[in-house]
């Protein structure tokens, strides 16, 4: 039921005439025992799904805010296996779809089949693996298909047209449209070419298109969401959580519904 849960969540959002909102949080930041509380808060706030980062010593796509969250989580002893075991224990306590964001190295170390099996047991609906290019996705995609877990593809502003079409045709769950050239992190301005880029991806994609990287205000959520099916917000969510500004997190989620 994993991927179906994600598809159903997007369908509900579309039928309500709203935009999807997917927050990113780092598993184990503040200790793994705080994760259930965070998931329940975000579910109550009305998010569509939750992207759950797995801390890794050598992240290639993460900006300073997420890197620091990852360091804090690693210092607490957080591991991929530990996260999946914890999710397996608490999965009956929430209904929001969970997406794992991890790099391919920890997955190889875990063992591909064992990883996909344990992810299914943990109720994971989808997977984002930024350093696994589409050309190598066959390493894990068939295993995930068997377990009904979506392999979410990333498209970038610099992706050539033909590659964009291939990524769009193979993405499951949703297509992650990276909205900046570079790493994650809150930004004050939206890329001026973004509108055209998102419209182009929408034209090719058979799944919802969500924009992520650099989105940090309710105004940006509305502006960027108006051209696609929803947004992903990471660094800003982590910063607000650190500052205890939970109402500001709710305001970001609410902006996708307006």
Task: Provide the annotated active-site residues.
Answer: 51, 62
CA angle 180-181-182, nearest 5°?
Answer: 100
- Which two structure tokens, joined as six digits, stand for 255? 């902006």
Tell me the sheet residues that pair with 23: 233
Q: Please, what is the Cα angle at 165 between 99 and 117, to 5 degrees?
A: 30
How many CB atoms are closer than 10 A to CB 241?
21
CA distance 93 to 14: 25
Question: For residues 3 and 219, is the Cβ–Cβ distance under 8 A?
Answer: no
Compute the half-sphere exposure of residue 55: CA atoms within 13 Å on the CB side of its CA: 23
Pairing mode of beta strands 50-53, 20-26: parallel
The token duo for 217 is: 């205000």
HSE, side-chain direction, 13 A CA sphere, residue 211: 31
CA distances from 22 to 35, 77, 142, 232 (A): 16, 26, 25, 5
């Amino acid at each position: 039921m994993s991927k179906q849960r994600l598809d159903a969540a997007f369908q509900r959002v579309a039928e309500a005439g709203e935009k999807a909102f997917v927050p990113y949080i780092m598993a184990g930041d503040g200790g793994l025992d705080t994760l259930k509380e965070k998931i329940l808060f975000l579910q109550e706030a009305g998010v569509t799904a939750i992207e759950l980062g797995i801390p890794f010593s050598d992240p290639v796509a993460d900006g300073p805010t997420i890197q620091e969250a990852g360091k804090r989580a690693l210092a607490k002893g957080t591991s991929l296996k530990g996260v999946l075991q914890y999710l397996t224990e608490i999965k009956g306590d929430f209904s929001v779809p969970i997406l794992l964001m991890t790099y391919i190295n920890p997955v190889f170390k875990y063992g591909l089949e064992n990883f996909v099996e344990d992810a299914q047991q943990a109720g994971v609906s989808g997977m984002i693996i930024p350093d696994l290019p589409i050309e190598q996705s066959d390493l894990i995609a068939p295993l995930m298909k068997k377990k009904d877990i979506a392999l979410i593809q990333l498209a970038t502003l610099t992706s050539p047209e033909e590659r964009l079409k291939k990524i769009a045709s193979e993405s499951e769950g949703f297509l992650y449209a990276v909205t900046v050239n570079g790493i994650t992190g809150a930004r004050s301005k939206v890329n001026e070419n973004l509108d055209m880029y998102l419209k182009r991806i929408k034209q090719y994609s058979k799944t919802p298109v969500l924009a992520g990287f650099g989105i940090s205000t309710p105004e940006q959520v509305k502006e960027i969401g108006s051209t696609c099916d929803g947004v992903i917000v990471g660094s800003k969510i982590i910063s607000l959580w650190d500052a205890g500004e939970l109402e500001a997190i709710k305001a970001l989620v609410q902006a996708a519904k307006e």
